Chains A and B, each alone.
Chain A
């Protein structure tokens, strides 16, 4: 029984950390792509 609780806590801690990290990395890639598009459009306007 104790092993199950330890396993769940490890999933909460490490799963949460890696899920958060993955979310941040995906967001970073998305925003950098959008920034490139918007900046190239702004240069085109000039």
Chain B
């Protein structure tokens, strides 16, 4: 649909096709960080390492989609605004968001104690979440090059483009769910492997 169904836009022309591969990963990335937030709260509230493993898996998925968002955004900005990086509030807050969650992963990789990794990893996952809200609201708080497309009244675009965005969203959510499920299973197996090795040594 992105390549065939969606018609060229009056101002952007064919570049509108980048929009679907830019906005859908961005929103799915925000959603993945939301999963990390919920898992962090659940771990601190109920305990249970599976919450921690799922939260960490969601950080990886969120980082992957935020990376796709930043790179596709740079390609779009280069074509539309003649510069790949403009220090626009949305770009800057998304970059800070990426760095914040990358720090969560680096922290988790650097701590060997399972309990403190889960505890502080959950706390960092919760503390980093306001950056998601700030990144989402940045185009409403500051003056920015980014257009406001998603309004409370609906999508500010042509019907065909709105429909294509919806289908892109569903597709990216399904791919992200598959990647999250696989990452969770692998990380759970890795935990089991570490536990067996530690009990033997």
Interface residues of A (CB under 8 A from B): 1-3, 5-6, 8-10, 12-13, 16-17, 20-21, 24-25, 27-28, 31-32, 34-35, 38-39, 41-42, 45
Contacts and interface: CB of A to CB of B under 8 A. Distances in A.
Interface string B75-111: 1101100000000000000000000000000000000
Contacts of B25: 13
A45 B196 CA distance: 12
6 contacts: A3-B14, A8-B75, A12-B75, A16-B68, A20-B64, A39-B196
B186 A9 contact: no
Interface of B: 13-15, 17-18, 21-22, 25, 64, 67-68, 71-72, 75-76, 78-79, 175, 178-179, 182-183, 185-186, 189-190, 192-193, 196-197, 200
Nearest to A16: B68
Contacts of A9: 17-18, 21-22, 71-72, 75-76
Given A12-B72, A28-B185, A42-B200, A35 B192 contact: yes
A32 B18 CA distance: 38
B200 A45 contact: yes
Given A16-B64, A38-B193, A38-B196, A24 B183 contact: yes
